[in-house]
A and B are shown apart, each in its own frame.
Chain A
């Protein structure tokens, strides 16, 4: 899709991308109408993980929900080559859907069914760290059987032990990425490397920041000298919120957006953003180097999306075999060559070198120590903190 889209005009691409965004809005519209019923299911939730029987051996299927443009796709054959290879090797039929385009929306969609233990229609879901943490904490994820995933040991060492899932008993990283500064290289040839560069007077009203608060606030906190991976206090968090509110009130920040900030960069409404590394590299390759990305001098954030088997899945073994497949270095390299995000399998680097030596050398796909030292993972929040901080952020951005 990515390669095919390069041949289209920016407007056409924007529309296509917008259709992806559209899905979340449609889900939103439906859910507001049905908010009541869902809320009723969600309240007083009883976590259920018992009672599911794994029928993997008799039902050779696996259903996977992932984010848009997040798996290598062959436009000519309309197939996902690495997924096809998995099906051919195992005889398991894989159904791949790009059904997640916002963590909160996706959670809102499946939580009701998860809470009453009825099948959500997926055997693998791919939420971001903090949402994966919520799935595990609420009992909505199944423990993985390491025997079925021998490649699990190939996980990048920094990802092997995470706060929300020590020892990776429930989850495996799909891809990771950085949040940092993205900018239009024609409008800002000097680049954006510090918060001062981002909020330069000339950029006033053409700056956009992410609606994912852990990234936007994580970057601001580091600018204010606070480590978002450490035990920061509520006051420190709220200081960053105040900074954001100030920049919105002063008219520096035009909009607060999810993935669609990339359309705004393309159509000129934004010249500098707090955005995601992979998006920016895709934009750069689609627009002849018109855009670039850098980790802020004061520090950026590192996040990962994680494969989980939801508590309602009856195809856990098939899901584990699929995870194992994607941790084969050769397969991981093929995916990395397409998605441009950080590859969770370190041994994939020599394999990627065979496909694309430039990409294999990129610190944004195989980050070196120096790069990793510049980024922090936003720490896990308690449920009380999550509710309070998310509400504070949403109020700051006008909701």
Chain B
């Protein structure tokens, strides 16, 4: 029905146009809103409520009562600030690395690939054909002490035999970069591809050299893609726990690992909830500041 109204709008008088406009947006929004309320809004309240609960002394495991103890947030943060800060550092480095790798890649696909453009795009998305977890497990094999990379590196005379790749910060950041690379590449490509080649020619006509053209024309026009790509990489990377669990060691754990451990192993729901809430709030603040700063309001 909604579609019919919308379709007939232009042909009928202004009255029916106003009427259909009043219903159609709500109908279109309904599936998304119902989904959001059920799986986000309601859980968010439940999460907030759990985060201030307290376990009575001697109570059964997993039993908590509401005492509005906001100190839970302070305790949770103080006890885990190391992993908390580490998560943002790792996610930040992974985002920068992904940007450094994805920009030339997207640029090449958009401007230089010619008839191979679609093939290259499929290749960018190809990793998604296998499970995120299996890909990360594969990395433990690739980076392993007797895996192909280390075995090759150790042939070099200046590589020490005790060099390790798995269970290091390097492995965790590499895993994060790799796993979220397509999320950086695709929005960048979408932005770059839309750039009108004539703007680049115009820059040349105005005596800008290649670098200046890139800096003054290509990059500014690609900014929406950069912002979208960095957000799509940074946000999931900050909350990720799979890479740190499989590729890291005890001193590279991220906040996602702590939340998982509090929830499943310790059965300390309030701490897990408080940490999740803090993580969510921090990301929200960072993202808001970032979008304001980068001035691409159309993204908000």
Contact = CB atoms under 8 A, between A and B. Distances in A.
Interface of A: 11, 14-15, 18-19, 21-22, 25-26, 28-29, 31-32, 34-37, 39-40, 42-45, 47, 102, 104-105, 107-108, 111, 134, 137-138, 205-206, 248, 253-256, 263-264, 267-269, 382-384, 386-387, 390-391, 394-399
Contacts of A253: 250
A108 B261 contact: no
B248 to A, nearest CB: 8
Contact of A268 (B63, B144, B272): B144
Interface string B51-75: 0010101111111110000000000
A35 B49 contact: no
B285 interface: no
Contacts of A11: 141
Nearest to B259: A32
Contacts of A387: 55, 61, 266-268
7 contacts: A31-B263, A45-B62, A108-B267, A255-B249, A384-B57, A390-B265, A394-B265
B62 A14 contact: no
Nearest to B42: A37
A26 B133 contact: yes
Given A36-B43, A36-B47, A39-B47, 12 more contacts: A35-B47, A35-B269, A39-B263, A43-B65, A44-B64, A108-B267, A248-B251, A268-B145, A382-B58, A394-B265, A397-B250, A398-B251
A398 B250 contact: yes
B257 A35 contact: no
Main secondary structure of the interface of B (DSSP, over half): helix
B50 A399 contact: no
A300 to B, nearest CB: 22
Contact of A34 (B43, B63, B140, B248): B43
A37 B264 contact: no
A263 B57 CA distance: 41
Interface stretch (B118-126, B159-167, B197-205): B159-167
Given A384-B58, A387-B266, A399-B261, A35 B144 contact: no
B276 to A, nearest CB: 7
B146 A44 contact: no
Contacts of B253: 397-399
Interface of B: 42-44, 46-47, 49-50, 53, 55, 57-65, 79, 83, 131, 133-134, 137-138, 140-141, 144-147, 162, 164, 166-167, 241-242, 245, 248-253, 256-269, 272-273, 276
A108 B42 CA distance: 20
Contact of A25 (B47, B62, B133, B258): B133
Contacts of A37: 42-43, 46
Nearest to A34: B43
Contact of A399 (B59, B65, B145, B257): B257
B137 A32 contact: no
A141 to B, nearest CB: 14
A11 B137 CA distance: 11
Given A28-B260, A256-B250, A43 B266 contact: no
B21 to A, nearest CB: 36
B141 A44 contact: no
B251 A36 contact: no
B144 A43 contact: no
Given A15-B138, A25-B245, A269-B166, A386 B251 contact: no
B281 to A, nearest CB: 15
Nearest to A390: B266
Contacts of A383: 58-61
